[in-house]
Amino acid sequence: MSTLIVQHPALSDSSVAAFARLTNRPPQFRDPTYALWEAVSLDGKALSQAAEQHRVDAEVVAADARLSAYSLAAFDMDSTLITIECVDEIADFADRKAEVAAITEAAMRGELADYDESLKRRVALLEGLDESVLDQVWRERVRLSPGAGRLVATMKQRGLQILLVSGGFSFFTERLARQLGIDHVRSNVLEVSQGRLTGRLLGEIVNARVKRETLERTCHQIGCAPSQTIAVGDGANDLQMMSIAGLSVAYRAKPRVRSETTHAINHCGLDAMLRYFTDTR
C-alpha cells in the first residue's frame, strides 16, 4: 500500500480537512507542516486537483520507501540548490538582466530548440565584465534554497553521495560544493582573459544530454544503477537525467517538468522530500 503526505510551511486545518474528505478518514499523523495518511489508494487526477486548489504539496509515496536504499542524489544548481539563476544576476552588472532572464526562462520551459545556442547567446552578453563580478554575485546574491543544507546533510548521513550537475558556471558550483560537502561536480566554464569575461565558454556545454551522461558515468564510478539514484531539478534541461533516475523531484519547476517527474515540491523547502522516506520523517 501507499502513504499520502500533504505538506505546507503552514498547513491549514481546511487543507487537512479537504484531504480527509478525499481519503474518507482523518490523518494518522498531523503537525503544523504536514499530515500523513497510511494505506491509501487515490486517483492521481483528484489528488493533483486538490493539491492545486489548496496550494499544498501532496504526494503518494511507497509505504516502505527508505532514503538509505539509494546511493546517489543528483542536483541541478540554479533555482534548485540555490534561489537564483547566476547568469541572470551576472548580466545585471552589464544592464542586460531582463534580456538574459527572458532567454533563461524560455530555455527552462523547454521552448527553445537549441539549448546550447541559447546559452551561448546569454554568455555572449557578458563580454567585457570584470571577473570580480562573479565574486560579487557569489557573496551578495547566491543563497541556498530553503531546506537545501538540511537535505544534502541528511542524504550524506544516510550514505548517499551527492552529484551537482549544472548548466551554470564552475565558479559557483565549486564554491557551493565546498560549502555543502558535495562529492561530484560537473558544470560549464566561463572563459576569462586578462581579468575580464570574454563572452565565451570553455569545453563541452553541459546540456540535457551531458547531464544524463554525467549521472550515468557517476553511477558507474561508484558502482550503482540509475534506479538507485534521486534526481532533483527545475528546468527542461534536467528531464533527461530525471528520466533515468529511480526517483525524480521537480522543485518549484516549470509545468512541463512537474508533469514528467515522480514528485513535485511547489510550496515547501527542498527538505520536504525527506518525508517521502520512512527513515527520515
Positions annotated as catalytic residues are 76, 78
- Could you give the C-alpha distances from 222 to 226, 261, 262, in angstroms and in order? 11, 24, 24
Q: Residue 216: which of 81, 115, 72 has the closest Cα?
A: 72
Is the Cβ–Cβ distance between 6 and 57 less than 8 Å? yes
Q: Which residues contact 29 (CB under 8 A, 6 or more apart)?
A: 35, 36
Sheet holding 29-30, edge to edge: 29-30, 34-40, 2-7, 57-62
C-alpha cell at 113: 530548440
User: Which DSSP letter does residue 120 get?
Assistant: H
User: Which DSSP letter does residue 236 get?
Assistant: G
End-to-end CA distance of the chain: 18
Would the CA dihedral through 124, 126, 128, 134 be positive or negative? negative
